[in-house]
Structure 1
Amino acid sequence: MATAIKTRPDMSAAEWEARQELAACYRVFAMLGWDEMIYNHITVKLPDEDGAFLINPFGLHFSEVKASNLVKIDIDGNKLDDNPYPVNLAGFTQHSVFHRHLHDAHCIIHTHTTAGMAVSALEGGLQPVNFYACNFIGQIAYHPFEGVTVRGEEGERLIRNLGDKRVMFLENHGILVMGRTLPEAFIKHWSLQRACEIQLATLSMGQAVRIPDEVVAVHQRDLSKVQIPGGPGKADFAAMVRLVDRIDTSWRE
């Protein structure tokens, strides 16, 4: 995404840029059909503000999110601006524990896509049966379903079950991915969503051909050779933002 030209006198240039990038991501998710009524969350840490992060206003559809209406909260859930919208407790509880404990979790994405929820509910989870799945084999954590995530004490188990992974299936619940940048988190989600969609289509036809472990290892080793310069997901995300702009540019406001 190109650097925003517009600035705001009531916030730093870095915050406004983070707001625009996050708002664009919500619109991309809406365009791709990864929205879920007014639920699910994408959060981003604010640079140079210890513990502060941005989250979507509870009550708005992803297609209604703008840079200006994102809610700024601290790690304890206190609002840091005069935004009139509430924050979904489930979103805060889940995302804040990772933002608090993981320094590299700049962007966190949680969705309830049909394919993601289906694979999260499947015994064995994601299987090595397609190109995109090979990106993730051995790199996915799993967390058992405990009900809606509104109890802070579940955070300890979320962190423990995540371990050193940055992709997790919340079993019977959905997808959770994290990235050092928003574009990195985006491309992880895009690739995992594709892996889930293709797995569902494949298994519906019968027994799948499983890719051997040694081939998965070669695939993961060589993935960096097909990345475009600029960092993981940067070009991919920018392309999606250009598509969004053809539909509606109000996310920039």
Structure 2
Amino acid sequence: MAAVMQPPKKSIDLNGRISIYQPEQKGLIFPEIPSFTSAAAQRQHLKERLVGACRAFALQGYDYGFAGHLTVRDPENPGLYWTNPMAVHFSQVKVSNLILADHEGTVVEGRHAINRAGFVLHAAVHEAHPDIVAMCHAHTVYGTAFAALGKPLAPISQDAAAFFEDHVVIGDEAGQVAVEVKAGHKVANAFKGVKAAIHQNHGLLTASRHSIESAAFWFIALERCCQQQLMIDATGITPRLVSEERARYSREHVGSDYIGWLHFQTIWDQLIATQSDMFD
């Protein structure tokens, strides 16, 4: 069942800024959202960041055989999306082996095959929600374990509050591998107005209406929150939760697509310094 996004009762006058984290003082070094003079330049940027997201997943240890898929919508042809190639480790994904596919799962550019489950889930979400530009899924240890509980993430911390009323639990076809198109449609229906989903007995999915960087960071954050929740549950002690009002306030300021993008910039800088083969 989809969560209903509630506005926070308190807010801050940002004076035209996207986020409270943007400096008011001029002239300071701070990440800026890029602008592009052509669709080709934007496409190259998106492909490089998609590769960066795959490499970030490799660093986090999110690999599990050929499972796991990340997608980003093409800027010029919104009915097509770029994705990582089938049966290529996250650490080996590079610009040259990305594939471009349509909503029917047909590869229109690239030499590798597409992951069937990735096509079924991601294509359905992209097709049903034109505003969603990127999506991530992987078979992670803690997210998969937490998904078996079939419950939403509790606001146990500031970090978890970023997902408060901004994620759903999907119980449809729980545990059945998503290779039929109808499974993708059920997942797509759940992504109305939220950035994340916990698919029961399957794992985590995140989507972004902003960037692949945001989708990737919020996946990393959700996996981390699932790990923390499982650790707390293991103590047998009932935790003290962040109140609903404070959780909504935190979500507004630390849970947006922009904040996800901003968080990822630290990961991107690390990748640039250590993994130059991404651009091969």
**TM (normalized to structure 2)?**
0.79
Give the corresponding residue for 1:148: 177
- Would the alpha carbon gap of residues 151 and 223 (structure 1) be closer, same or farther in structure 2, given more than 3 Å must change? closer
CA contact (8 A) 1:45 1:107 kept: yes
Give the corresponding residue for 2:65: 37
> Which of 166, 189, 192 is the equivalent residue of 1:160?
189
2:79 pairs with 1:51:
yes
Instruction: Map 1:111-190 to 2 at 5 A.
Output: 111-144=138-171, 145=174, 147-180=176-209, 181-190=211-220
Shift of 1:161: 3.5
Give the corresponding residue for 2:135: 108
Question: What letter matches 1:184 in structure 2?
Answer: S
- Would the alpha carbon gap of residues 202 and 222 (structure 1) be closer, same or farther in structure 2, given more than 3 Å must change? closer
Shift of 1:166: 2.8
CA contact (8 A) 2:161 2:251 kept: no
What RMSD in Å do the two structures reach over aligned CA positions?
Answer: 2.5
Give the corresponding residue for 2:92: 64
Shift of 1:115: 0.7
Shift of 1:56: 0.8
- Would the alpha carbon gap of residues 128 and 147 (structure 1) be closer, same or farther in structure 2, given more than 3 Å must change? same
User: What is the identity percentage for the equivalent residue pairs of Structure 1 and Structure 2?
Assistant: 25
Aligned to 1:193, the other structure's residue is in SS state helix
2: CA distance, partners of 1:120 / 1:25: 22
Give the corresponding residue for 2:21: none
Aligned to 2:72, the other structure's residue is in SS state strand
Q: Deviations over 1:169-222 (max 9, x none)?
A: 11011001100112221232122112111111111122231415xx23223224
2: CA distance, partners of 1:223 / 1:164: 14
Structure 1 segments unaligned to the other structure (5+ residues): 5-10
Shift of 1:105: 1.1
1: CA distance, partners of 2:56 / 2:32: 15
**May I ask how many residue pairs the two structures share in their alignment?**
243
CA contact (8 A) 1:24 1:252 kept: no
2:212 pairs with 1:191:
no
2: CA distance, partners of 1:226 / 1:34: 24
> Which of 93, 107, 128 is the equivalent residue of 1:79?
107
Q: Deviations over 1:58-88 (max 9, x none)?
A: 111000000111001112112212x221111
Aligned to 1:136, the other structure's residue is in SS state coil
CA contact (8 A) 2:133 2:212 kept: yes
2: CA distance, partners of 1:227 / 1:99: 21
Give the corresponding residue for 1:97: 124
- Would the alpha carbon gap of residues 235 and 220 (structure 1) be closer, same or farther in structure 2, given more than 3 Å must change? same
**TM (normalized to structure 1)?**
0.87
- Would the alpha carbon gap of residues 146 and 162 (structure 1) be closer, same or farther in structure 2, given more than 3 Å must change? farther
Question: What letter matches 2:158 in structure 1?
Answer: F
Aligned to 2:75, the other structure's residue is in SS state coil
Aligned to 1:232, the other structure's residue is in SS state helix
1: CA distance, partners of 2:195 / 2:254: 21
Structure 2 segments unaligned to the other structure (5+ residues): 1-30
2:50 pairs with 1:22:
yes
Q: Deviations over 1:116-142 (max 9, x none)?
A: 011111143422333322222322212
CA contact (8 A) 2:142 2:223 kept: yes
2: CA distance, partners of 1:198 / 1:34: 17
1: CA distance, partners of 2:73 / 2:44: 12
Give the corresponding residue for 1:7: none
2: CA distance, partners of 1:178 / 1:3: 19
- Would the alpha carbon gap of residues 222 and 174 (structure 1) be closer, same or farther in structure 2, given more than 3 Å must change? closer
CA contact (8 A) 2:125 2:185 kept: no
- Would the alpha carbon gap of residues 195 and 152 (structure 1) be closer, same or farther in structure 2, given more than 3 Å must change? same
